[in-house]
A and B are shown apart, each in its own frame.
Chain A
Amino acid sequence: MSSKIKRNVLKSMIIGVLAYMGALGVPQPAQAEYADVVINNYADAAGMRPAVFPHWFHRIRFRCKVCHTDLGFAFKAGGNKIDMAKIIDGKFCGACHNGEISWSVENCALCHSGIPGQPTHFHGSTVQRLIAPAYKPLQDKDAKN
């Protein structure tokens, strides 16, 4: 092998190693359960971890109708503007997490278990997975705040 080729092989090896290290540095996509919802309208700002709502866990126990008709959860991640005042008044999560139907509200860390800094989102949604998500203007009723 000529020295020129040796140098080139070395060069391509270094580039390869750098590219590999670069790929390792890229944050890996989350692999949570399909339909897990991270809710973080206010939690981060108040110094709490974001809340994580697992659909899979709840749909084993309740049909959609219980939450989305009777308890009035709108079909919109973050759209219900849930806060602790509403929860202790028995609304939203508080309709069940009240020590009667399920464990009560002092178990803060069971709900507030998300990695800090995550935006409100629906994990694994088809829209999120699309390669070129289309621009969708935020409507007034969808506004997060």
Chain B
Amino acid sequence: MNHKTKAISFSLAMLMSAFAWNAQSYADEVTGVELPVMLAEVSPANIFNVNLKKPKSRNLPPAEDGIHDPENEATHSLQHPLDAYKGLPTSEYGNYVDWVKALDEGKLRPRWDRSDPNEEPFVLDLDIVRPVKASVPDVVFPHRQHTEWLYCSNCHPAIFIPQKNANQISMSAILLGEKCGVCHGKVSFPIETKTCRKCHSKPKPADWTPPLSEATLKNPWK
């Protein structure tokens, strides 16, 4: 830290404490002596879950979705997603459609070739288990569901070397849009609490305990 940044952070700290002081005295004033003290009351700046943006509704028609221009006449002739999804199995995330189930149940037959409707995909039924050091279940990567949609060269070798455990994968890489995150979180199902177990699907053995960190093992006061 140089002097300039020190000075800036000091003045920021002063400013913040001034705000806190202000808020405190303001709260005292409002409550006064005659009103009962209401512990649950918070200042408008401290509303619940300031960082959680919850979608108010799902599958809106194009003209109301915030990215299509309603002043463009053709926008109104685009299809409403809910019309297209009629009869498809649902899910709780992404498009709110279970795309894998829709294929498996034969509710959808998207083409594998641009013009030939009869060409069949080259499906590989091979599960790859990736043990995870953390307490979450191990990851099972299923080739079957992927090769129903994708070709080998969509992943090999640009995203993954085709060899078991030859690739370094971590959750932070995935969340930044690398490895599995190239597709998951963009087009395939998103990464959120409701989807953790779709990838983390192989339960840990009953006697599994989390490995202890070095600092705990070497702790001289233990």
Residues of A bordering B, CB below 8 Å:
1-2, 4-5, 8-9, 12, 15-16, 19, 28-36, 38, 49, 52, 54-57, 59-66, 68-71, 75, 95-96, 100-101, 107, 109-110, 112-116, 118, 122-127, 129-131, 134, 136
Contact status B78-A113, CB under 8 Å: yes
**Interface membership of chain B positions 172-209, coded 1 if the CB is closer than 8 angstroms to chain A and 0 otherwise:** 00011100011111110011100000000000000000
Q: DSSP class of B's interface residues: helix, strand, loop or mixed? A: loop
In the complex, whether B74 has a CB less than 8 A from a CB of chain A is yes
With known contacts A30-B67, A31-B66, A69-B154, A12–B186 Cβ distance under 8 A: no
Q: What are 24 A-B contacts defined by CB distance under 8 Å? A: A19-B44, A31-B56, A32-B68, A33-B59, A34-B94, A35-B95, A54-B78, A55-B187, A63-B111, A69-B150, A70-B113, A100-B115, A110-B74, A113-B78, A114-B69, A115-B68, A126-B175, A126-B177, A126-B181, A126-B184, A126-B185, A126-B186, A126-B192, A127-B176
Question: Which of A16, A62, A114 contacts B111, CB < 8 Å?
Answer: A62
The complex places the Cα of A116 from the Cα of B72 at a distance, in Å, of 11
Having A29-B66, A59-B187, one finds 5 other A-B pairs with CB under 8 Å, namely: A15-B44, A61-B110, A109-B75, A113-B75, A126-B186
| Interface residue? B141 (CB, 8 A) | no
- Chain B interfacial positions (CB closer than 8 Å to A): 29-30, 32, 34-35, 44, 51, 53, 55-60, 62, 64-69, 72-75, 77-79, 81, 84, 94-95, 97, 99, 108, 110-115, 121, 148-151, 153-154, 175-177, 181-187, 190-192
Q: Of all chain B residues, which has the CB nearest A133?
A: B176
In the complex, chain A residues whose CB is within 8 Å of the CB of B62: 32, 52, 113
Instruction: Give the residue among A68, A123, A130 with the most B Cβ atoms within 10 A.
Output: A68
Residues of B within 8 A of A136 (CB): 176
- Please name all residues of chain A whose beta carbon is closer than 8 Å to the beta carbon of B94 when the two chains form the complex: 34-35, 124
Determine the distance from Cα of A104 to Cα of B104 in the docked complex, in whole angstroms.
32
**B182, B186, B191, B192 interface centre (most CB from chain A within 10 Å):** B186
Q: A113-B62, A113-B72 given as contacts; is B114 within 8 A of A95 (CB)? A: yes
